[in-house]
Amino acid sequence: MAELDADKRYHLIMAITHLINKDYSELGRDLVALDFLPPDTDPIPVSRAIEEAFEASKRASDADAARNGQRATLTSLNFATLTANLGRVAFAFPIRIAGKISARDAFFDCARGPRPELRSEL
């Protein structure tokens, strides 16, 4: 896994925080700071597209849950819709994966939590 300098680590943590808090305008700025977007990119349209991608996925999840007589939860999130929507965002804007950042590794490291071999040390 790549090592990130302190500035990039800070912006990665902030990007995750902004995503959790649904602060999409700040998330757009984080994407520029993390070099996912070129420095001259206006982050506002990207932020709006990302927000719509998540909102559309939430609407699809809510509809799926309602059809089953349930309430939508994070575990019922419609990832197929989210993936398709974020894919459209990635093709509509000049999003790139910075050389030192692997989005896949960062996502799975955050999603799975501490690795089993490290849990005994916690």
Mean per-residue pLDDT of the chain: 79
Under 8 Å CB-to-CB from 32, ≥6 apart: which residues?
Answer: 38, 39, 41, 43
- Identify whether the C-beta of residue 93 lies closer than 8 Å to the C-beta of residue 49: yes
Tokens of 85: 């929507």
Which pLDDT score is estimated for 117?
47
**Whether the predicted model's global pTM rises above the 0.75 cut:** no
Taking alpha carbons only, the member of 83, 92, 97 closest to residue 38 is 97
Res. 109 pLDDT band, cuts 50 70 90 = low
Q: CB-based contacts of 57: which residues, under 8 Å, 6+ apart?
A: 77, 78, 79, 81, 82, 85
Lowest mean pLDDT, pick from 7-16, 69-78, 91-100:
69-78
pLDDT at 15 over 70: yes
Q: What is the structure's pLDDT at 42?
A: 93
